[in-house]
Structure 1
Amino acid sequence: MKVVAFKRELQGTGASRRLRISGQTPGIVYGGAEGPLNISLDHNALYHALKKEVFHSSILDLEIDGKTQQVLLRDFQMHAFKQLVLHADFQRVDANTKLHKKVALHFINADVSPAVKLHGATISHVMSELDVSCVAGDLPEFVNVDLANIDVGHSIHVSDLALPKGVTAITHGKKLTIATASVPAGHVSAEATAAAPAADAKPAAKGKK
């Protein structure tokens, strides 16, 4: 994705407020061989870009004064109750930059799992994103969590994931749970429902002679 920004000369609370009133968002670019650079970005373009998952976990082409550099979105601040982006931070990277980044988890195949098909279970998503370590060139847009084999009472852990080559999950030695399957209270499984008529059937009364 391409992001267009402009050098920002004026700094301070007052300057930032005037920028926001004019439809701009203050930001900063740091890292790499160059020093930190204050920038401004079009607020509406940035606001809509932040709604896209790929914007948070992909290398971005940041254009400043006609020159393009590769960056990652590192942080952003939103207004407490207004739809207003207050500030955005970007880090300069190249394909070999080692980094830690959170990526989104995509849950797939829940509908074909034994937990759902046979028992009508609910699969709870304990985590929605995963902290990973890799070089910038290997950074995945998202990580799939395959729920095809999960059954009632079982869980999916970070150690069960098939991570892309070069990507390592950061767990700090903990066995992190990603998803669990359980049957809601009072819910009857498909197997139990099918067996119920046979169990409840009464033998026919014998006729009198």
Structure 2
Amino acid sequence: MTDFAIAAMPREENGRRPSRRLRRTGMVPAVLYGDNKPATGLSIEARLLRKLLADERAYTHVITLEFPKGKETALIRDIQMHPYKEEVLHMDFMRVHAGETVRLHVPIHFLHENTCVGLKAGGVLHRALNDVEVEAPVDRLPEAIEVDIAQLEKGESLHLSQIKVPAGVTLIPLQHEDDKEVVSIHNPRTGAEAEETPEAAE
């Protein structure tokens, strides 16, 4: 169920001051919750965390948190980043187990941009969505939702209802009848369109 693992240590002290002290030692404060168990404070070595997060798959795959006295399996639920440094300040993990169905935002990857009919004809690509919330068993969570735009022409668009997803995966917006636009090909704006005349503005 998991291809990722990282060492973690229990953390007893909470709050801003203990967290700052922890970061000065090269550790990142985090919390593990869910599965009807008490929330557990933990810390992870920043160096190991950077290596883990460098792989995009880690954001949608089950991760084994290896404690000195046991293991927990979890998904990344939230990451708080430093305002201007590439530095993780805090992380939230949610406990999961085999067979459980979960909801998670996964990225959308657009395929065959180089051969897209509409782009080759001079159209402009508009990515309306970069990610989408899905529901799936933890062992079927996709790394990304792939959208093939090879045959998309100028003036056309694709919506969520037109996207193929892996077996067992549900697109949450469609459950609420929210058929969002995913991608479209626009005609390039001409100078006349870009600069509205005074008469048109009135």
| Structure 2 length-normalised TM | 0.86
* Structure 2 partner of 1:65: 68
Distance 2:19 2:181 in 1: 42
Does the 8 Å CA contact 1:94/1:137 hold for their aligned counterparts?
no
Q: Name the residue aligned to 1:205.
A: none
**Deviation of residue 186 (structure 1)?**
4.4
| Contiguous gaps of at least 5 residues in structure 1 | 188-209
Give, in whole Å, the separation in 1 of the partners of 2:100 and 2:124. Answer: 40
1:47 is aligned to 2:50: yes
The aligned amino acid for 1:84 is: E
Listed one character per residue, the Cα deviations across residues 86-118 of structure 1 (whole Å, up to 9, x for unaligned) are 11111110122221100111100122232123x
Find runs of 4+ consecutive structure 1 residues off by over 4 angstroms. Answer: none
Alignment of 1:175 with 2:179, yes or no, is: yes
User: Aligned residues, how many?
Assistant: 186
- Alpha-carbon RMSD: 1.7
Equivalent in the alignment of 1:196: none
Task: Provide the C-alpha distance between the structure 1 equivalents of 2:79 and 2:114, rounded to a whole number of angstroms.
Answer: 35
Superimposed CA distance per residue, residues 163-207 of structure 1 (whole angstroms, 9 cap, x where no aligned partner): 0001000112112011010231349xxxxxxxxxxxxxxxxxxxx
Q: What are the residue-to-residue correspondences of 1:1-209 with 2, within 5 Å?
A: 1-117=4-120, 119-171=121-173, 172-186=176-190
- Tell me, in whole angstroms, the C-alpha distance in 1 between the residues paired with 2:105 and 2:166: 14
Letter of the aligned partner of 1:160 in structure 2? Q
Q: Which has the higher strand share?
A: 2
Higher Cα radius of gyration: 1
| Aligned residue type for 1:94 | H
What CA deviation, in whole Å up to 9, does each residue of 1:119-164 have, x standing for no partner? 1212211111111111212111111001022111000111111100
Q: Whole-Å Cα distance in 2 between the matches of residues 9 and 185 of structure 1? A: 58
Q: SS where residue 74 of structure 1 aligns?
A: strand
**Sequence identity percentage:** 31
